[in-house]
Chain A
């Protein structure tokens, strides 16, 4: 890690957190109010994800939550005082976690969108 890594990742964590507060609010509003009566059946979910705006919102939410969660796990791990080699291992593991969350979520969107 270079010197700027600490600042960079802290800022990403902070701004992704602020973004999540907004996106989560929109996620709730979209799911419970925009979708009339809420997403109570499979057909409701399919219809909900049919909107490109909703899909864009949910995709953005998925990416931001994955990044924020991965950085949070990394921060907790670094708090525990890791050796330099272990730190690299944690960096790789949390990056893998974030990618897995994003790709799994996108796969679900395509499966549901495909009906």
Chain B
């Protein structure tokens, strides 16, 4: 048995701002985060609000962020997480209290996806579902836990974005319609804030506890749309309109792009692609501004060239070369994967391209050093 300190996010409606409370718990080798939180609620603070049900990664209700990672608390061993463990609610959904967020906006997107692969047969014969739950409707392996929603950098900033889980659901309709109309699902995702808004960070696939792989599903949807799948006129779904203000306010915004906790390589590729892209636009403007010296005649230009051969300028050229190489090579990956090519091996593709970057950068830096030494 070991002692673990839990730093738990706390917020109740009416509070001015959230804060963190610390609790000390005793953990055995198989104690889960959910069990520890339940122990806190039982023995230390009954006002702690959390949601759970099945305790075996089936219901998807105990999704939360643990040390910055989106996980199901019921299957996350506490012993593996270090002496201090930070527990927070999912991001990008309206906060209800403490570790509980409102999942209604998230569930609504499944309805708009056409409720694919309705598994009404999961209802046992003679069962009596609760009022309002006439059928057990869920998208195959998806637990509807919302971890992907919390991890997605685009959901964090774009309140109109359909989101990874709903588009994975739409892809299942296309793959296996079972009487549904796949063209309707394609038409639904074929919009600015649908599959074309995704930047293929693949955080959704990384955090998914059930290997639904929404990122790959979105890439597949794009591929199908590019192949010219005929689509009927799209009905105007509610999700295409601005989300209600609580959902909008719940999104983390740009801060989420720069939160390093729990993020995988695809996420950082997305962030660096954005940063290098903006920097290159700035460079483009700067480059054109400098080129105006050409219009002023030989003396102005030749003076600038002398300045441009200084070591400081050439060092900045090295930074520029990195930006160009990263944006160009990662852009090739985004284009390929975005068209459904190599989505399953996007990480390997990224690292292969980064190897190319290193070689090209070394060659470029060697050329710059040669200029400094007057070669």
**Complexed CA–CA distance, A76 and B275 (Å):** 10
Most buried by A among B192, B277, B332: B192
B residues in contact with A3, CB < 8 Å: 187, 190-191, 231, 234
User: What is the size, in residues, of chain A's interface with B at 8 Å between Cβ atoms?
Assistant: 37
Q: By the criterion CB–CB under 8 Å, are A6 and B284 in contact? A: no
Q: By the criterion CB–CB under 8 Å, are A41 and B196 in contact? A: no
Known contacts A14-B338, A45-B301; A79 and B197 CB within 8 A of each other: yes
Q: By the criterion CB–CB under 8 Å, are A81 and B157 in contact? A: yes
Q: Nearest-CB distance from A60 to chain B (Å)?
A: 15
Known contacts A76-B274, A111-B295; A10 and B196 CB within 8 A of each other: yes
Tell me which residues from 1 to 39 in chain A have a Cβ below 8 Å from any Cβ of chain B: 1, 3-7, 9-11, 14-15, 17-18, 20-21, 24
A residues in contact with B29, CB < 8 Å: none
DSSP majority for the B interface?
Answer: helix
Q: Nearest-CB distance from B336 to chain A (Å)?
A: 9
Q: By the criterion CB–CB under 8 Å, are A18 and B332 in contact? A: yes
Q: Give which listed residue, A42, A76, A80, contacts B302 with CB less than 8 A.
A: A42
Q: By the criterion CB–CB under 8 Å, are A72 and B277 in contact? A: yes
Known contacts A3-B190, A42-B301, A81-B248; A21 and B157 CB within 8 A of each other: no
B27 within 8 A of A: no
Chain A, Cβ-Cβ closest to B251: A81
A78 within 8 A of B: yes
**Complexed CA–CA distance, A69 and B280 (Å):** 8
Q: By the criterion CB–CB under 8 Å, are A111 and B294 in contact? A: yes
B242 within 8 A of A: yes
Taking Cβ atoms with an 8 Å cutoff, the residues of A that contact B are 1, 3-7, 9-11, 14-15, 17-18, 20-21, 24, 40-43, 45, 65, 69, 72-73, 76, 78-81, 83, 101, 104-105, 108, 111-112
- The 25 listed contacts between A and B (C-beta, < 8 Å) are A14-B334, A14-B335, A17-B331, A17-B332, A17-B335, A24-B328, A40-B305, A41-B302, A42-B294, A42-B301, A43-B298, A65-B284, A76-B274, A76-B277, A76-B278, A79-B199, A80-B158, A81-B158, A81-B161, A101-B284, A101-B285, A101-B288, A111-B295, A112-B294, A112-B295
